[in-house]
């Protein structure tokens, strides 16, 4: 993989590795020079181009929000002890390459944050700090944000009640809610957060705020073949 003068890179780098099909994995971050990892045969690594004008982005986020479309957000030039970035990029791997487009930035700079793809295609951004500091609650961002792939913009969403920074998680649940929890894990220090919250997105409610009935899948194909369309479409009621 690529070299760097940053001392923490390689020791504790938390690579953003995105499977893209056909045995290929995109190294999307933290280094700004992206690379392809080919897992076929004995394997090989080749250049995938630069992530636009982005810089080194330790402890940022990158996730595939749609087929062949990756959202990369935030990060910091150092593993700890540096300001976070609000920069956001779309990486399109749907045509075999890795084409980067710079997006409108997040509302808040974030490092150590989490991102979750919601069932309606939007992406929820949870937690993080504007200045990265391991095992600290300082400069925490409590407000959440939602990125809409149709508008390519971020909007504010309800805040979390506790800092969700280093070692925190966010996870989509089977019922469409999001669990946001954890943070810290530094022994007996005061910045441990062994708790969680549940975020209920707007698609769970009607225009009056009443909870909608959950859809039930009534039929679906018994199996799906990789790279092939389903033989029949799932139906729900």
Q: Annotate the chain with three-state secondary structure.
A: CCCCCCCCCCCCCCCEEEEEECCEEEEEECCCEEEEEECCCCCEEEEEEECCCCCCCECCEEEEEECCEEEEECCECCCCCEEEECCEEEEECCCCCCEEEECCCCCCCEECCEEEECCCCCEEEECCECEECCCCCCCECCCEEEEECCCCEEEEECCCCCCCCCCEEEEECCCCCEEEEECCCCCCCCCCCCCEEEECCHHHECCCCCECCCCCEEECCCCCCCCCCCCCCCEEC
Cα–Cα distance between 134 and 14 in angstroms, integer?
A: 14
Sign of CA dihedral 16, 168, 148, 234: positive
Residue linked to tokens 């649940």: 173
The residue annotated as part of the active site, out of 108, 166, 199, 203, is 166
What separation in angstroms does the CA of 126 have from each of 1, 81, 98, 163, 170? 30, 20, 26, 10, 7
Say whether 65 is catalytic. Answer: no
Active site residues: 166
């Amino acid at each position: 993989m690529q070299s760097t003068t940053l001392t923490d890179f390689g020791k504790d780098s938390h690579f953003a590795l995105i499977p893209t099909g056909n045995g290929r994995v995109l190294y999307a971050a933290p280094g700004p020079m992206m690379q392809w990892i080919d897992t076929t045969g004995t394997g090989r690594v080749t250049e995938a181009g630069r992530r636009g004008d982005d810089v080194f982005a330790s402890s940022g986020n990158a996730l595939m929000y749609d087929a062949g479309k990756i959202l990369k957000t935030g990060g910091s030039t150092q593993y700890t002890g540096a300001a976070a970035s609000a920069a956001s990029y779309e990486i399109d791997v749907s045509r075999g390459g890795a084409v980067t487009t710079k997006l409108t930035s997040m509302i808040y700079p974030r490092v150590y944050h989490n991102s979750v793809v919601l069932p309606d295609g939007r992406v929820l951004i949870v937690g993080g700090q504007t200045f990265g500091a391991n095992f600290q609650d300082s400069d925490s961002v409590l407000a959440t944000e939602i990125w809409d792939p149709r508008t390519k913009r971020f909007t504010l969403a309800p805040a979390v009640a506790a800092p969700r920074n280093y070692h925190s998680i966010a996870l989509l649940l089977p019922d469409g809610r999001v669990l946001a929890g954890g943070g810290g894990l530094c022994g007996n220090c005061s910045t441990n957060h062994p708790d969680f919250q549940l975020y209920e997105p707007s698609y769970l409610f009607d225009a009056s705020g009443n909870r909608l009935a959950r859809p039930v899948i009534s039929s679906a194909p018994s199996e799906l073949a990789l790279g092939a369309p389903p033989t029949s479409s799932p139906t729900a009621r």
